[in-house]
């Protein structure tokens, strides 16, 4: 598959010289055995009541001088629309299992102030609640994904919330919703039954949670044939295959439409390393963790296939992304970190993994949207900046609801200190309008890689491409220089007899469009 032709050359890119010994990587796009759609919901997001995610992030209040719609910043609304956000998960995370939804409805002056025990021990006034969130999702034209309180709540509280947002009329909760100014139900489809019950959601074991889940799921109904509920069990962390085995074997498929998976790219939970001033050692270790996503999905899918050969239950990766030490001088409970080209590599490689596993992966949620962890946007007063991760999502949105084109290739190695990782990741799809998109990520910190893509049989006449890269891995957008990293047109490729040839620079993402 790989032609072992060694090329010794000096590659000059963006003023940086790279001495590299390369083998050409041949990528073949092949027809699928069965048509398979990359669900748009793989490109979902997550906004938790955590640090400056909601307050002073998404939400500034309707009296703010910052332009807003019902208190939500207009610049963030537009940014999320521009990446075709398909769904948004709220209110947590760990916060979900301490959140009592009735605290966030009704007149704001009557809402209780609560303590966020998980994230910084700060108080909040519940001014952003169910109506704010669901109305925001309507403004964004995206699906809401509500995470319900199982850890400190009750079945009654959970089903009351469901009735409040989904029942049209004639019930106590529908009446209460109308009294609070919303006549029509929102018809929320996606519901998470708790969050991380193996940890902050109750420190349960898998067998206990499976019984709890069945109890909650039994009492959930949509009251509508047009919008049946999609109930998501809180699944494992990383490689906890026992947890998945228990849920798949103990919970009837009639009670479960999805199982969640959480996996963060963390070097060491006790010493995560800096977000910007990191070394190549830090970077290689982070990418090692990020690329484990492929192994986790593969092995969890094998377990799911054993109990669900019909592929009726979706794998929902509703928390993923890079996690580092917080920025100096910020509240450690707020999880505020900068976002560099390293994060673009995590995003590009991870989304390629999700696309290629789209038979089983039906939804994913990047953690998190604004000012927390691997955010797509950062705010400071009236200013907002978009991160390298944001631009990867913008480039990759062409894969949403497109038909997967399987790819076949052997990746060259990215080697560091005697260890190796696959340098190149690829995914491809055909959109409804017939256009083919190919996304490539090269995570190598130093070396460009020569790639040849076989386009024969696709009958493609026109090619264009965008690239996201920079001079240094540690580069990032700042409030002083918000456009340091932006996608640029990429023209350094040749198409000879349906063979697309290019050199993909170190730590860069390229997306081709062919028609």
Q: How many CB atoms neighbour CB 18 within 10 A? A: 15
138 noted as active-site residue: no
> DSSP readout, 71-84?
TEEHHHHHHHHHTT
In Å, how far are 9, 187, 505 from 145, measured between CA atoms? 50, 11, 37
Residue matched to tokens 């697309």? 500
**Positive or negative: CA dihedral 288, 290, 293, 296:** positive
Helix (H, G, I), strand (E, B) or coil at 135: helix
Closest Cα to residue 220, out of 245, 186, 188? 188
What's the rounded Cα separation, in Å, for the pair 73 and 217? 35
| Catalytic option among 124, 196, 257, 289 | 196
- For the chain, report the end-to-end CA distance as a whole number of angstroms: 26
Q: Which helix (H) or strand (E) holds 513?
A: strand 508-514
Annotated catalytic, 196?
yes
Query: Maximum Cα–Cα distance for the chain, whole Å?
Result: 75
H or E, element range at 511 = strand 508-514
Phi, psi values for residue 293, rounded to 5°: -55, -40
Q: Catalytic: which of 143, 257, 289, 319?
A: 319
CA pair distance 480, 385, nearest whole angstrom: 10
461, 444, 470, 502: which is closest to 392 by C-alpha?
470
| β-bridge pairing 377-380 and 383-386 | antiparallel
Which residues are marked as active site?
196, 319
């Amino acid at each position: 598959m790989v032609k072992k032709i060694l090329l010794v050359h000096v590659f000059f890119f963006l003023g940086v010289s790279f001495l590299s010994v390369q083998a050409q990587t041949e990528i073949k796009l092949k027809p699928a055995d069965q048509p398979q759609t990359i669900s748009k919901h793989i490109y979902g997001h997550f906004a938790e009541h955590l640090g400056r995610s909601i307050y002073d992030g998404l939400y500034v209040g309707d009296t703010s001088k910052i332009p807003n719609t019902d208190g939500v910043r207009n610049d963030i609304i537009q940014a999320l629309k521009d990446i075709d956000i398909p769904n948004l998960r709220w209110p947590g995370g760990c916060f979900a299992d301490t959140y009592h939804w009735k605290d966030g409805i009704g007149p704001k002056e009557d809402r209780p102030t609560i303590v966020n025990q998980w994230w910084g021990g700060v108080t909040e006034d519940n001014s952003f609640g169910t109506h704010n969130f669901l109305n925001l999702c309507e403004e964004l034209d995206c699906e809401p994904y509500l995470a319900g309180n199982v850890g400190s709540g009750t079945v009654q509280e959970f089903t009351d919330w469901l009735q409040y947002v989904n029942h049209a009329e004639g019930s106590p909760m529908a009446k209460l919703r109308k009294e609070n100014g919303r006549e029509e139900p929102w018809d929320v489809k996606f519901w998470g039954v708790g969050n991380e019950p193996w940890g902050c959601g109750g420190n349960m074991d898998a067998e206990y949670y499976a019984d709890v889940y069945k109890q909650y799921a039994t009492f959930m109904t949509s009251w509508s044939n047009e919008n049946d509920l999609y109930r998501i069990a809180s699944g494992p962390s990383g490689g906890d295959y026992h947890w998945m085995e228990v849920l798949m074997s103990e919970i009837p498929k009639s009670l479960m439409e999805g199982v969640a998976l959480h996996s963060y790219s963390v070097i060491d939970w006790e010493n995560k390393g800096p977000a910007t001033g990191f070394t190549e050692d830090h970077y290689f270790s982070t990418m090692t963790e990020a690329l484990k996503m492929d192994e986790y999905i593969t092995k969890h899918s094998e377990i799911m296939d054993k109990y669900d050969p019909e592929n009726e239950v979706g794998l929902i990766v509703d928390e993923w992304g890079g996690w580092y030490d917080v920025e100096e001088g910020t509240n450690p409970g707020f999880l505020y970190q900068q976002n560099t080209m390293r994060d673009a590599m995590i995003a590009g490689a991870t989304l390629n993994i999700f696309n290629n596993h789209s038979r089983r992966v039906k939804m994913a949620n990047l953690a998190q949207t604004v000012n927390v962890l691997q955010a797509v946007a950062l705010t400071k007063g009236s200013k907002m900046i978009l991160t390298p991760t944001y631009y990867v999502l913008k480039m990759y949105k062409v894969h949403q609801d497109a038909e997967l084109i399987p790819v076949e290739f052997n990746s060259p190695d990215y080697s560091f200190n005697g260890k190796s990782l696959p340098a190149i990741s690829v995914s491809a799809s055909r959109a409804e309008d017939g256009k083919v998109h190919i996304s490539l990520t090269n995570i190598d910190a130093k070396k460009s890689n020569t790639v040849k893509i076989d386009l024969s049989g696709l009958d493609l006449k026109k090619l264009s491409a965008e690239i996201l890269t920079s001079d240094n891995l540690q580069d990032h957008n700042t409030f002083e220089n918000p456009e340091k990293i932006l996608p640029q047109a990429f023209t350094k490729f040749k198409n000879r007899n349906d063979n697309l040839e290019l050199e993909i620079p170190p730590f860069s993402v390229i997306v081709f469009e062919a028609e």
